[in-house]
Each structure stands twice: as structure tokens, then as C-alpha cells.
Amino acid sequence: MIHRRTLALTAAAAAVSACLSLCAHAQGVIKIGEVNSYKAQPAFLEPYKKGMELAVEEINASGGVNGKQVQLITRDDNANPGDAVRAAEELVSREQVDVLTGAFLSNIGLALTDFAKQKKFFYLASEPLTDKIVWQNGNRYTFRLRPSTYMQVAMLVPEAAKLKKKRWALVYPNYEYGQSAVASFKELLKAAQPDVEFVADQATPLGKLDAGSTTQALADARPDAIFNVLFGADLSKFVREGNTRGLFTGREVVSLLTGEPEYLDPLKDETPNGWLVTGYPWYGIQTPEHKAFFVAYYAKYKDYPRLGSVVGYSAIKSLAAGMKKAKSTETEKMIAAFKGLVVDTPFGKITYRPEDHQSTMGAFLGTTKNDKGKGTMVDYRYLDGAKYQPTAEQVKKLRAAD
């Protein structure tokens, strides 16, 4: 009798457990898998992760997406493309995520772009800037949020041409992002100023800049102006050594990304004056969209946002908007939804172009100023990314068939 009762109770418990499991599965969650170089690039990616988490919190507080709560699952790629692919495989196979996003370094973004193509899985490249992600290596499964190297260089070149400097030196990290940025700068500046000469080309190992020899090589070339693509610790070393050796005295400098607080803030009293830069002057943006974002971010973290915060936040908001439009997380429906998708971001509305899956997010252009030992951007303005993209006809020539 006791044995029968035990069996009955066990069966009942199993039935309840099965029911709870089925109910939970029916309700479900949407899993966003994210891969990034958190340990290698903390200055950008710690604020980036905070931006993502704020977006997830806001989305879930408003009822989720398509009736489901959103869950973010992150993995570190150790700044290694092979590790990034293995992390993505684990997220897709074991964690069964619905979509993939992430990447900071361009070579890792390209590895994940290829992974998405091979696995036929939706991937939103949030941060990597190389043009190849949406052009030569572009595929139907991959979309990209941030303005590319081409777009940001296209914003800088008209101002660089106005300087009317003939002899230019180039310094950049010797991997995909740096190579891509320099190639675009040479092409666009030559078109705007045919008599320009490139008199020095310093390609440095990422994260391993020999500031002394690099600075000396640039000085020896006697350029009129310098195009700089360094960032992070390499940028700090370059600025310090350049200041010490007088490299920037009497020379114009055009510098990609240097106005981003992730890289400008650490320069402090070493901040050079008058560099033409792209960046993020969070302290002076007065639009309603940015004010709302700033207030929410500061309330949660008691800190001001960095550009990474905006990118992480906008990536999650983009995925949520795509899922709502698609009424699904199924890859083919997400692809269809993202083509022409309009998303509200702290920089205003952006659109993901059908031609190359590139968003129209723009960037701020301005000049650096050492304001009592603090690096700031002045005389800045926001440039709409839509105005700095190649035409649909040009994209057809650049982009391989999907």
C-alpha cells in the first residue's frame, strides 16, 4: 500500500514537473548570444556591456519582445578569431541562442561574419569597423551597426582637404581595421586633393607600439600633416612620445576615434590641442533622445556613458526592433525585417540599408582641446552616416553575391 502510494506520488510529481517544464518552454525567453574581447579591450567594452544590460532591462520592464523576456549571454573571445568562433559555436549549439551579436576587433568581426554565413545564422556586428564586413566579405546573414572605417574617413576627408597640406604621414595598427582606414583615407584624400603625397607609412603591431622609433620615423619624413588611426594604449604612448619630441608642433593631425572618451579621457593633461577627430562629446549633446539615454544610464551606473555604452545599447535595441518587426527570431524572418529596419538610438533614428546591411548611424566630428588638464571635443557636430555611404551601384561592385 505504501509502495503504491509512493509510486503514485512519484508519478504525480513527475507530471507536475513535466507540466512546469512545458509551460516554461512555452513562455520561453529570447536568448541573445554575444562575443567580445572584454579582457583585451576593457576601456571600450566595459561601458559597452553596461549599455547592453541597460537596454535589456528597459526592454524586459516594458514587457519584453513578442511576449518574451530577453536574456543576454556573453562570452570572451580572448582577442583571438579562433576563440571567437568556438565561443559562437558554443552559444549556438549548447546555449541555443536565437541570434548573435558583438565583436570589437575587425579581424574577429570578419571571423564571426564567416561563421554566420557557414551556419546560416543571424549576426549583428555591433562594433567592428572594417568595410569588408558589409562589402567584400558581406553576406545575407550579417548586418553592422557602427559607421565603418570608410564612413568615418569620408567624414574626416573634406576637412582634411581644407587644410591644404601636401605631405602626409600615416600611422596605424597593422591589422584589418587600420589597413582598411588607411586605404580609404588615401583613396578619398587623393580624389579630393590630387597633388597630395604620402611620405611615411608606419604600420605598428596592435598593442605593441614602439613609440620612440615610430615617432622618430614620422618626424624624419618631415610631413606637413599626420593621419593617425591608433587607439587605446597605443594612442596614449604615441601622444606622450610625440609631445615630448615636438612631433605635433606646427603640424596638423587628423585622428580617427581619438575623440571617443574611452581614448580621450586617459590622455588628461597630455591631450593635444586642435586635432581633427571623430568621437563622442557626451557632455554637450542636447537632443531629447540622448538626454533620455544619459539620464537612464547615469541613474543605473552613477557614471557618464562612453561611446561603447551607446553602441551596446543600440545593438540590443536594434535586435529587439528587428524581432518585433519579424514577429520572430527565425533567421530568414530576421534578415527580411532588418532590411530597411528603422531603430531609435541615443543618436536619433538609424536605418539598416538593404543594399549592404550597413546602418546609417553617424559620428561626431570636432577638434580636441586640453581643457585644464582634461581632454574634450569642441566645435563638434553630428554627421548623418547616410550621407557618407557609397551608392547602391557602388555597393553592387564591392559586395560579393549573397
DSSP-H helix ranges across 170-282: 176-192, 211-220, 232-245, 261-264
User: Are 241 and 211 spatial neighbours (Cβ–Cβ below 8 Å)?
Assistant: yes
Site of grid cell 518552454: 25
Domain residue spans of the chain = 28-147+286-362, 150-284+364-388
User: Are 319 and 97 spatial neighbours (Cβ–Cβ below 8 Å)?
Assistant: no
Give the pLDDT of residue 392. Answer: 87
- Of 264, 265, 107, 77, which Cα lies nearest the Cα of 176? 107
Give the pLDDT of residue 400. Answer: 64
d(CA 38, CA 261): 17
Architecture of domain 150-284+364-388: 3-Layer(aba) Sandwich (3.40)
What 3-state DSSP class applies to 219? helix
Strand partners, 382: 364
d(CA 315, CA 295): 19
Give the pLDDT of residue 23. Answer: 39
d(CA 103, CA 80): 11
CATH topology match: 28-147+286-362 vs 150-284+364-388 = yes
Say how many C-beta atoms besides its own lie within 10 A of residue 266's C-beta. Answer: 16
The three three-digit cell numbers of residue 377, written as one number = 571635443
Give the pLDDT of residue 396. Answer: 86
Q: Which residues of 113-148 are buried (b: 16+ CB within 10 A; e: fewer)?
A: bbbbbebebbbbbbbbbbbbbbbebbbbbbbbbbbb
Kindly give the interhelix angle for 232-245 and 211-220, rounded to the nearest 10 degrees. 50
Give the pLDDT of residue 42. Answer: 95
Averaged pLDDT, groups of 10, the chain, 402 residues long: 44 42 57 97 96 98 97 98 98 98 96 98 97 95 97 97 97 95 97 97 94 97 98 96 96 97 96 98 97 98 98 98 98 98 98 97 98 96 96 85 54
d(CA 125, CA 145): 6
CA terminus-to-terminus distance, the chain: 68
Architecture of domain 28-147+286-362: 3-Layer(aba) Sandwich (3.40)
DSSP string spanning 373-398?
A: S-EEEEEEEEE-GGGGS--HHHHHHH
Give the pLDDT of residue 402. Answer: 55
